[in-house]
Chains A and B, each alone.
Chain A
Amino acid sequence: MINFFRISFLLVIFLGFQFSSNADEKIEYLKTDWSFKGMFGKFDRAALQRGYQVYQEVCSSCHSMKYLSYRNLAEEGGPEFSVEQAKAIAASFEVKDGPNADGEMFMRPGRLSDKFVMPYENEKAAQAANGGAYPPDMSVLVKARGGGVDYIYSLLQGYEDPPAGITLDDGVYYNKYMYGNKIKMSNQLSDGLVEYSDGTNASVEQMSKDVTTFLMWTAEPHLETRHKMGFKAIIYLTILTVLVYFSMKRIWSRIETKV
């Protein structure tokens, strides 16, 4: 047994060493109490629904969400809008379909099976409309940034006047959490920008938290299932390990050697 403690101890040391070497950024991000962190972490449904509202009203005019479909909004473990609500959301978008029998492309209201409508025709159009910078797709954005949710949450609140000595070009803004501090997206959030239907006060902090929660879900739509299944798997493995340990002791007791 002692050997096992030694093995696991070395494991922890080694992996800890590994993580610390990956953490190359030393900026202190703003922290908040994420409901989805930890072994039993779950999404806050209301926050996801509010987050969708912020995404829809603020971000989606520039940022696409190409891996999501409207049906996802009604699926378990997500914002869990009712199917009717999700259908209504989908129908509020115009989707290009076709070609029809005449060979023409045509517009029709969105359905649950449609992917989220893209804000721009293509990447070049997106760049042209945003001073040359391409607003990244938001589907997996949280996982594509080193600091994850804390980084996005901080960035949204990180706009400041540039310190003396730093001059910014036109269309470039100062953000203390951005890599290199220069960002082409202007400050998007201001207090009371959206009107939450559940009456929550739409402070910048609240909106940042809600939209980041929403982005965590878009990046990891099965997070809740994963946490639940992980707990069961580890409990199962632990019980099995204990049983096998005692069987092993019993079997090895036939000979003098200790195991």
Chain B
Amino acid sequence: MSEHEYTPKSKVGKWFNDRLPLLTLANHLTDYPTPKNLNYWWTFGGILTFCLITQIVTGLVLAMHYIAHADMAFQSVEHIMRDVNYGWLIRYIHANGASMFFLAVYIHIFRSLFYGSYKSPREVIWIIGIIIYLLMMAAAFLGYVLPWGQMSFWGATVITNLFSAIPLVGEGIVTWLWGGYSVDNPTLTRFFTLHYLIPFLILGLVVLHIWALHVPGNNNPIGIDIKKPSKDTVPFHPYIVIKDGFALLMFMIVFAFFVFYTPNILGHADNYIEANPLVTPAHIVPEWYLLPFYAILRSVPDKLLGVIAMLSAILILAALPWLDTSKIRSAVFRPLYKQFYWILVADVLILGYVGAMPAEGLYLLVARIATAYYFLHFLVVLPVLGFKERTTPVPLSITEPILGGSPNLAAVKKRDSFKDQ
């Protein structure tokens, strides 16, 4: 929060601001002191906001033409693609937008993991983020069902059937979710309703996410607490606004390339076949962004335990601020953590790869090892590392990042020796 109280210059502004301090908010947002050493990995927050808005706007337009009925959904999507003015553009932006959204959110999450942005005092920001991520997955899954293609139908069948693993009430819950005895029209209409609802829940949570961020302020690449405002910070506007804008434009070029030149490459061909309850596709695969969790689900032989493993894989992230015992935030000063971090990245990519492959033979074995390692990383490596790791010296401020050149060398050394004890 800015140090000084803000008063609007004009009389009208002052009158209004006394009653609803919107101008104070605007002033806070423009002046918001931001660490000046943020790198481009920090631009994905803005990019994600853009993704959310894009999905909501294109989604609203699509909903004006889409018909949520088992007999007409597929046809109405083709109507959008053929006869609605620029309907193909809107739909391709929306469909590829989902992938771009996840691409950005994964970069955002892994940035947080690298620089320890989830640590005190930013736990609440992190947990809200995890809830947003969960809702994103729900929205993406529900949205994928709406075109009512073969993958929509069978994906919905597989995922809703996961609930049947719950002892005693499982079957009842599945029937209740379906609104019948199989995935059918009632399932489609409720999925449409929920798909429409969730983005607005996400929007609300994004506001909380940013609000919670503005209390302690941004973390930064060297992960130290900084004084705000100070020589280490710049006002959000214009410095960060223009930088985020530049990064967003780069992102939009990649986005445009997908939309205009390979709009279907991230989707599955089977979803251009209308849903048919009598024909099961050869391989039922979720969208790429859910593959790592799909791999975890299938790597456990027992259905209930598989579902539990999959859910824990996501929920364990919420406990991360307490699982990571290291006081140092940034991986820059944690030589061992840095290596484990890249192993985790590779592990998740491997899970994604085997998630797309049939669950048999070598693929299954790899999936099991990767799943085990995933949990090992969070439950064993991180807690132990905090105690065992010998971290490298952390600078005292951003403007004095090179230790040798720091006039406060003595202070740094004192703090380091203090930590070693």
Contacts and interface: CB of A to CB of B under 8 A. Distances in A.
Contacts of B103: 11, 14
A144 B283 contact: no
Nearest to B87: A222
Counting chain B CB atoms within 10 Å of each CB, the highest count among A39, A237, A238 belongs to A237
B260 A226 contact: yes
A230 B259 contact: yes
Nearest to B274: A137
Interface stretch (B51-59, B247-255, B403-411): B247-255
Given A143-B272, A222-B88, A248-B242, A238 B357 contact: no
Contacts of B254: 8, 11
B242 A3 contact: no
A136 B256 CA distance: 32
A120 interface: no
A3 B349 contact: no
Contact of B242 (A72, A229, A234, A251): A251
B190 interface: no
A96 interface: no
A3 B40 contact: yes
Contacts of A219: 272
Interface in B261-285: 261, 263-266, 268-270, 272-273, 282-283
Contact of B265 (A17, A19, A227): A19
Interface string B348-364: 01001100110000000
A241 interface: yes
Interface in A37-67: 39, 67
B301 interface: no
A251 B288 CA distance: 39
Interface residues of B, number: 50
A114 to B, nearest CB: 14
Interface in A242-259: 244-245, 247-248, 251-252, 255, 257, 259
B421 to A, nearest CB: 35
Contacts of B79: 67
A118 interface: no
A241 B250 contact: yes
Interface string A70-104: 00100000000000000000000000000000000
Contacts of B81: 221-222
Given A3-B40, A21-B353, A145 B88 contact: no
B12 to A, nearest CB: 31
Interface of A: 3-4, 7-8, 11, 14, 17-19, 21-22, 24, 39, 67, 72, 136, 139-140, 143-146, 148, 179, 219, 221-222, 226-227, 229-231, 233-234, 237-238, 240-241, 244-245, 247-248, 251-252, 255, 257, 259
23 contacts: A7-B107, A17-B353, A21-B356, A67-B82, A136-B273, A139-B78, A144-B273, A148-B269, A221-B81, A221-B82, A227-B260, A230-B257, A233-B260, A234-B256, A234-B257, A234-B260, A244-B245, A248-B242, A248-B243, A248-B245, A251-B242, A257-B36, A257-B37
